[in-house]
Structure 1
Amino acid sequence: MNYQKILVPAAGVAALVLAYWFYGWAGVAAAVTVLVMWALLHFNRMVQVLKRAANRPIGYVDSAVMLNAKLKPGMTLLHVVAMTKSLGALQSPKDIQPEVYRWTDGTESHVTCTFDGGKLVQHALFRPTQETPPPAP
């Protein structure tokens, strides 16, 4: 279960109650101001990430090998999009969990990432085999 969906609103309500308890209505006004500023900071970050990703092709990354090295389980989809500066190409059916996205580089190497509930569960790197030319006589 995703406790963040419960704990964040509960912490906001607790901050409002404590602000009223200690400072009255002026405390509530200050707490609301802090909570709105926090929400605006997160919204602004999301918009900036999506604005950068809008200018790149879907599913493209500069280096799939470097992306694979930077990925860690538990990262959010927004964090991965911020790293790649590109939206991933959706490989799974729309709105079905887990979601599978793929980022491909110029050498046809690609990283396939599986997200469950917006968090990275697993990732895999695929590198095409390169045929080596026979040695010169």
Structure 2
Amino acid sequence: MNFQKILVPIAGVTFVVLAYRFYGWAGVAAAVGGLVMWVMLHFTRMMQVLRRAASRPIGHVDSAVMLNAKLRSRVTLLHVVALTRSLGELLSPKDEQPEVFRWTDASGSSVSCTFTGGKLSHHALFRPAAVDDSGAPAPAP
């Protein structure tokens, strides 16, 4: 169960109640103002990330290898979109868990990311087979 969906509203209500208890209605006004500011900061960040991603092709990243190196478990989809500056290509059926997205670079390398509940649970780098000048696949090192 995602406790963050429960704990954040409870913490907000507790903050407002404690502000009333210690400072009266002026404390409530300050606490609610602070909470509204916090929500607006998160909304502004989300809109900025999505605005940057809207101007790029879906599923494109500058370097799949660098993206793979920067990824870590439990980061949100919004964080990955901010890293890539692009929306991922959806590989899984729409509105089904887990969600699988892929980002590909110009060399054909791609990173496949699996999100469960909006958090990154697994990622894998796929690189195309090396081809020598004759067109035949090069031997593995």
TM-score normalised according to structure 2 size: 0.93
Could you tell me which residue of structure 2 aligns to residue 24 of structure 1?
24
- Aligned twin of 1:132: 132
* Structure 1 equivalent of residue 40 of structure 2: 40
Q: Please give the per-residue CA displacement for 1:9-44, whole angstroms capped at 9, x wherever unaligned.
A: 000000010000001111000000000000000000
Corresponding residue of 2:137: none
Question: What's the counterpart of residue 116 of structure 1?
Answer: 116
CA distance in 2, matches of 1:51, 1:72: 24
Unaligned 5+ residue runs, structure 2? 135-141
User: Residue by residue, what CA displacement relative to the aligned partner does 1:46-69 show, whole Å, maximum 9, x if unpaired?
Assistant: 000000000000000000000000
Runs (4 or more) in structure 1 with deviation over 6 Å come to: none
Structure 1 Cα separation of the partners of residues 131 and 87 of structure 2: 31
Aligned residues: 134
Measure the CA separation in 2 of the matches of 1:69 and 1:99: 21
Look up the match of 2:2: 2
What is the SS of the residue equivalent to 1:86?
coil
Task: Kindly report the root-mean-square deviation, in angstroms, between the aligned alpha carbons of the 2 structures.
Answer: 0.7
Q: Which residues of structure 1 form unaligned runs of 5+?
A: none
Residue 139 of structure 2 corresponds to none
1:84-118 deviation digits (Å, cap 9, x = unpaired):
00000000000101000000000111000000011
Tell me the distance in 2 between the aligned counterparts of 1:43 and 1:20. 27
Task: Measure how far apart 1:133 and its partner are.
Answer: 3.2
Q: Partner of 1:55 in structure 2? A: 55
CA distance in 2, matches of 1:71, 1:41: 24
Deviation at 1:131, TM superposition (A): 1.6
Equivalent residue letter for 1:89 = E
Q: Percent identity?
A: 71
Q: Matched residue of 1:111: which SS?
A: strand
Q: TM-score, normalised by structure 1?
A: 0.96
SS in structure 1 of the partner of residue 43 of structure 2? helix
